[in-house]
Structure 1
Amino acid sequence: MKLKHKIAALTALPVFLQASLTMSCTAAKIDSTEASVLSKETTAFYENWKNKYLVQDTYVSDETQYYVWYSEEKYSGNNVSVPVTVSEAHGYGMLITASMAEYDTQAKYYFDGMYRFFKAHPSDIGSHLMSWQQCDNGTELIDGANEGSMTEGFCDSATDGDMDIAYALLLADSVWGSDGEIDYHAEAIAVINDIMKYDVNHEYWTVALGDWVSECDKSDPYYSATRSSDFIVQYFPVFAEVTGDENWMKVYDTTYDIINTFVDEYKTGLLPDFIIRDSSGNYIPSPANFLESDYDGYYYYNSCRTPWRIGMDYLVNKNQDSLAFINAINSFMIKDTGNDPWEIKAGYKPDGTPVEDYNDLCFTAPFLVASACGDNSKWHDEVRDTVINYGDDVYYGDTIKMLCLIADDGGWLVPETTENYPFGDINMDGSFTVADIVLLQKYLIKKEILSIEQGKIANVYEDNKINCFDLVLLKNSYLS
């Protein structure tokens, strides 16, 4: 359970098979003596990122708490509270500090401080989820402070922050173990279960906008809406495996159904920020001002993260739907920019029409991951050069850059999620016997079903399928 995993730079090795046989989780195992794969550009940028954005909550005196300072504003003493962080930023910070454990001897100190801040600011709906925003009123950091209020109000969660925090806790369990002050694994399970309960639409099996949607009426347009920046598909099989809840694979498949719909229709891979379900059951771009801006139905400041978020599922899991999305968005962007990442615009309509005439790091950095998935090394090298030499930016662009550099270097961690069982031990009783062969035979004639973990073990032929080849290999191995 405590082995660390990393994806290899630009590649991965299969180690996990889920029950529906549509993907495999992949990672390259390392041990504690392996040298860090992170480049000098990434480690230097981490120091700058940490010094600029990782901040201690000095209002708290009884314990050490840290947060990611996203607004770069401070309370000015005018009785108007100032937003200083959000759960999205907090999830990013926890991912970064866990990923930098080999490099930074203080990573656990910072991570635990961020964990305490997360626990101090729960949502009012899902008690294991995080309130989406914290504001500085000059005496404390408060939740639910609408329009500069100096007092707390009702607070709810945002799905992407919830998912990143859960995944980061799994990483912490793999990196540091859960036998100390914090049981990272138990905390991760609690968060994941609350995400499933409150952040997932159980009628359509889509990721919702936040736990607040669980209180919406079915007639409310937010009830069936989803946000493409929450398509963090690499996490869903992991969540399924650590909790045993195979509903996560329904979310996984439905999410790709939506992604594929847009790829097939527009051919660009450009997903809109917000996606709604129409009266016919089709998923389409949201109208303007659905939740945030005139550009809610465009590829804008939420969905700019999708080349990274969805691309990770190819780097880690070799998912072919992920690759189809990546191929579409890479091809569009290479052609549209003339292979010049500096020409990536800060917003497009789904058909590829630009809606802004400037670039922005948060739109460019995710193509580090997208370009790593393809076979155009020139495009990848141009993107990396652009990202590294972009210059000073703000929290959003810098933090996405930090995460994408880690992934591009091959430093993205994948948590260990299952116990190790002997070869062929499909029934997971601790030994390989004829009972395992019988179980596989019954599965193949549809007399039995296999769990996700059992499916992984049954894939002895290692071709990401369970069929007669596995049975033959299993029998021959037993007889020999």
Structure 2
Amino acid sequence: MLRKRSKYTIFALLLAAFIALFFYLRMNKPKQLQRNAYQEWSANFVGTLDEKTYIKTEETSDGQVTLSEAQGYGMLIAARAGQQKLASQKDFDRLYQYYLDNRLPDSQLMSWKQVIAENGEIETFDHNATDGDLYIAYALMEAAKVWPKKADDYNAQAKAILEDILAHNYNAELTILTVGDWATEDSKFHSLMRTSDVMPQQFEEFYQLTQDNTWLQLKDSMLDKLVLMSEQYKTGLIPDFMWVGEDEVKAAEANAVATEFDGTYSYNACRVPYHLAQSQDEKSQAVLGKMLNFFMSTRRITAGYELSGKEVHNYQAASFLAPVFYAAQKTAGHDKLVQQNKFIFMQDLSKEAYYEMALLTMVALEVF
């Protein structure tokens, strides 16, 4: 029995050593990891239509579905890949052209959803989604840094988008961005805030580009709203959506706008750690730190939580792990979360989970 236990111990040690060596070799070849992530992302999710490209989010009986959010991610991924010499300006411009061709009438904002039929005809849906246009504007600003010969064009278009966001997606009374141009002043949704629209570092850069002080006001005000929400629960978790008043906030109820998980830490709020970690603002770091401390106390991070900390699902998803991995890399004292979640970069990208792979690819291009 003792000899058998010794064999098991030796086997376990050898297996652990092999796994450790595998992780070491993979994690110490950042350029190869980035290249693999970008190539797999492009092969799986970038669709072609004439001389334009778009991001494939879903296949339906009516055709390929794409979203402005997806186009924003795709453009930012192409710009980030361009910084690493993994993508060309043509790759970015083909995505850019698709956005230009699918703006709303008399607007610089993109239609929030399009369905591309097999014959190439596009069904365009009314209204915009604020998060998609924020990402498109930011991607253009990043592209201007990578390909300076076209910087004036990219930055001019980014400014035009940002002007329209303030014209159509802004609640001046509460100083927040609304979720889309359909959340008008005469609608109760005018006071609804998507928490992942809080992008403090990007708002500072938007101010630098436009010199419009509204972006700094939005940064401070929307961070204040996150602080108020963070203070309501020991976990510090933030819901996908919340109702905003002058001096109070409340998590949205189930099915308030999108899904039964609107008031939980779910597939919108999972982006919050990624956005907050990019900013050194004191309020941003306070909200982020409390969330990371909660994740440090968990055995593993699962795909969604009630704000009390109870798991919504018992499975894991890269859309939740990648933003926390990124934030832990950027924030001292959270090595456990880095080690615990780096396995997501060792696997081939899924060919179906567009959203998860978008967040994973963005993080891979930024931290390695």
TM-score interval, smaller chain: 0.7 to 0.9
2:259 corresponding residue in structure 1: 293
1:186 corresponding residue in structure 2: 156
2:69 corresponding residue in structure 1: 88
Supply the distance in 2 between the matched residues of 1:295 and 1:105 (Cα, whole angstroms): 37
Change beyond 3 A, Cα 1:287–1:83: farther
Change beyond 3 A, Cα 1:377–1:259: closer
1:240 corresponding residue in structure 2: 207
Change beyond 3 A, Cα 1:123–1:383: farther
Q: Which amino acid aligns with 2:176?
A: T
Q: Are 1:326 and 1:374, in contact at CA under 8 Å, matched by a contact in 2?
A: no
Q: How far off is 1:390 after superposition?
A: 4.6
Partner-residue secondary structure (3-state), 2:296: helix
Q: Which amino acid aligns with 1:93?
A: G
Higher relative contact order (CA 8 A, sep 6+): 1
Partner-residue secondary structure (3-state), 1:110: helix
Change beyond 3 A, Cα 1:260–1:106: closer
2:119 corresponding residue in structure 1: 139
Change beyond 3 A, Cα 1:141–1:233: farther
Higher helix share: 2
1:259 maps onto 2:239 in alignment:
no
1:147-181 deviations in Å (ceiling 9; x for gaps): xxxxxxx511111110111011111112112548x
Q: Are 1:240 and 1:248, in contact at CA under 8 Å, matched by a contact in 2?
A: yes
Partner-residue secondary structure (3-state), 1:268: coil
1:275 corresponding residue in structure 2: 242
Q: Are 2:254 and 2:260, in contact at CA under 8 Å, matched by a contact in 1?
A: yes
1:364-415 deviations in Å (ceiling 9; x for gaps): 1111222023223532431452221355431111110011122222xxxxxx
Supply the distance in 2 between the matched residues of 1:406 and 1:380 (Cα, whole angstroms): 19
1:55 corresponding residue in structure 2: 47
1:400 maps onto 2:366 in alignment:
no
1:320 maps onto 2:296 in alignment:
no
1:374 corresponding residue in structure 2: 331
1:431 corresponding residue in structure 2: none
Change beyond 3 A, Cα 1:345–1:380: closer
1:91-128 deviations in Å (ceiling 9; x for gaps): 0011011111143464211110011100100124x610
- For 1:136-215, list aligned pairs within 5 A: 136-144=116-124, 154-179=125-150, 183-213=153-183, 215=184
1:303 corresponding residue in structure 2: 269
Supply the distance in 2 between the matched residues of 1:108 and 1:97 (Cα, whole angstroms): 8
Q: How far off is 1:216 after superposition?
A: 4.3
Q: Are 1:101 and 1:107, in contact at CA under 8 Å, matched by a contact in 2?
A: yes
Q: How far off is 1:325 after superposition?
A: 1.6
Supply the distance in 1 between the matched residues of 2:208 and 2:83 (Cα, whole angstroms): 26
Supply the distance in 1 between the matched residues of 2:324 and 2:298 (Cα, whole angstroms): 14
Unpaired segments of 5 or more residues in structure 1? 1-36, 145-153, 338-342, 410-480
Q: How far off is 1:235 after superposition?
A: 0.8
Q: Which amino acid aligns with 2:267?
A: Y
Partner-residue secondary structure (3-state), 1:101: helix
Supply the distance in 2 between the matched residues of 1:56 and 1:402 (Cα, whole angstroms): 20
Change beyond 3 A, Cα 1:143–1:178: farther
Q: Which amino acid aligns with 2:115?
A: C
Supply the distance in 1 between the matched residues of 2:222 and 2:83 (Cα, whole angstroms): 33
Supply the distance in 2 between the matched residues of 1:105 and 1:293 (Cα, whole angstroms): 37
Supply the distance in 2 between the matched residues of 1:185 and 1:374 (Cα, whole angstroms): 31
Supply the distance in 1 between the matched residues of 2:362 and 2:66 (Cα, whole angstroms): 18
Supply the distance in 1 between the matched residues of 2:303 and 2:247 (Cα, whole angstroms): 30
Change beyond 3 A, Cα 1:310–1:106: closer
Q: Which amino acid aligns with 2:53?
A: Y
Q: How far off is 1:38 after superposition?
A: 4.9
TM-score after normalising by structure 2: 0.86
1:119 maps onto 2:97 in alignment:
no
Change beyond 3 A, Cα 1:211–1:243: same
Q: Are 1:275 and 1:284, in contact at CA under 8 Å, matched by a contact in 2?
A: yes
Q: How far off is 1:254 after superposition?
A: 0.6
Q: How far off is 1:129 after superposition?
A: 0.8
Supply the distance in 2 between the matched residues of 1:207 and 1:336 (Cα, whole angstroms): 32
Supply the distance in 2 between the matched residues of 1:399 and 1:105 (Cα, whole angstroms): 16
1:346 maps onto 2:346 in alignment:
no
Supply the distance in 2 between the matched residues of 1:106 and 1:282 (Cα, whole angstroms): 45
RMSD: 2.0
Q: Give the total of aligned pairs.
A: 338
Supply the distance in 2 between the matched residues of 1:105 and 1:366 (Cα, whole angstroms): 22
Change beyond 3 A, Cα 1:198–1:143: farther
Partner-residue secondary structure (3-state), 1:100: helix
Q: Which has the larger radius of gyration?
A: 1
Q: Which consecutive segments of 4 or more residues in structure 1 shift more than 6 A? A: none
Change beyond 3 A, Cα 1:332–1:365: same
Partner-residue secondary structure (3-state), 1:237: helix
Supply the distance in 1 between the matched residues of 2:321 and 2:86 (Cα, whole angstroms): 30
Partner-residue secondary structure (3-state), 1:118: helix
- For 1:387-466, list aligned pairs within 5 A: 387-393=344-350, 394-409=353-368
Q: Which amino acid aligns with 1:208?
A: T
Q: Are 2:108 and 2:161, in contact at CA under 8 Å, matched by a contact in 1?
A: yes
Q: How far off is 1:351 after superposition?
A: 1.8
Q: Of 33, 42, 54, which aligns to 1:67? A: 54
Q: Which amino acid aligns with 1:251?
A: L
Unpaired segments of 5 or more residues in structure 2? 1-28
Q: Of 342, 349, 365, which aligns to 2:322? A: 365
Q: Are 1:87 and 1:162, in contact at CA under 8 Å, matched by a contact in 2?
A: yes
Supply the distance in 2 between the matched residues of 1:400 and 1:242 (Cα, whole angstroms): 25
Supply the distance in 2 between the matched residues of 1:122 and 1:390 (Cα, whole angstroms): 36
Supply the distance in 2 between the matched residues of 1:334 and 1:47 (Cα, whole angstroms): 32
TM-score after normalising by structure 1: 0.67
Partner-residue secondary structure (3-state), 1:344: coil
